[in-house]
Amino acid sequence: MKQGFKPDVIGNEGWFYSEKVKDHFFNPRNIFKSKAEAKKYKADGIGTIGSPICGDVMKLWIKVDKKTDRIKECKFQTFGCASAIASTSMLTVMATEKGGMKLDKALKLTPKDIMERLGGLPERKVHCSVLGDKALREAINDYFRKTRQFERISGEGTKIIDKALKITNKDIEEAVLEGAKTFEEIQKMTKIGIQDKNCIPETKRLIKYYREKHFGKN
């Protein structure tokens, strides 16, 4: 085993990739190899997400078995890096294996679940794995919209935390995914709390929450 790689951790501190990550990068499952292939695909739902951190884009298509409410097929294309390709490839496998995942369960899939199956990702690359699960949620919501199941559409709300600079919980989440671990680090990146000091306790609570959500630790 290479020094620095710990398969039992979610986002490891090193730069080493697990054998599974390498396998899914070199042989991605369910990826469209051409624009033409994607164009003629008849999807029930499509989700597109861009990363505010690196600017990369992920597009994901699903087919749904309407009787069982399970994902029958899940395909993707991305401009993202090796980590984005490997983690989304694994995500498509998880969504479609064993007869397909129920939509309600698929909406709750997290980057942590994907990384567990991959044997971890370097901590600085965790934000790449978020693209796939966000795009999957968009695709499922798109399917709900198209089939007029509006009451099932889900999404995490955006809340303004720093009232002076209009910094939201999503900005804090992105900063954590970028690698910030402490309030001081987030303040350096976003200037949060410099004018609106009242937001400091809530920001600290959110840093803890997002560290736990994406890395399984504080």
Site for ligand FES in 119-138 (CB under 6 A): 128, 131
Instruction: Determine if 60 is a binding residue for ligand FES (CB under 6 A).
Output: no
Q: Is 81 a catalytic residue?
A: no
Minimum separation from the CB atom of position 211 to ligand FES (A)? 19
Residue 216: Cβ within 10 Å count: 14
| Binding span for ligand FES by CB under 6 A among 14-22, 81-89, 153-161, 182-190 | 81-89
Local structure of residue 163 (DSSP, 8 states): T
Q: Which is nearer to ligand FES, 128 or 172 (CB)?
A: 128
One of 18, 77, 83, 203 touching ligand FES (CB under 6 A): 83
Instruction: Determine if 51 is a binding residue for ligand FES (CB under 6 A).
Output: yes
Cβ within 8 Å of residue 115, ≥6 positions away: 10, 11, 87, 121, 126, 129
Cβ within 8 Å of residue 176, ≥6 positions away: 186, 207, 210, 211, 214
| Binding span for ligand FES by CB under 6 A among 42-50, 75-83, 102-110, 167-175 | 75-83
Integer Cα distance of 25 and 123 in angstroms: 17
Q: Tell me how far CA of residue 89 lies from CA of 2, 177, 204, in angstroms.
A: 24, 20, 34
Kindly list the residues in this chain that would bind ligand FES in the complex (CB under 6 A): 51, 54, 56, 80-81, 83-84, 128, 131
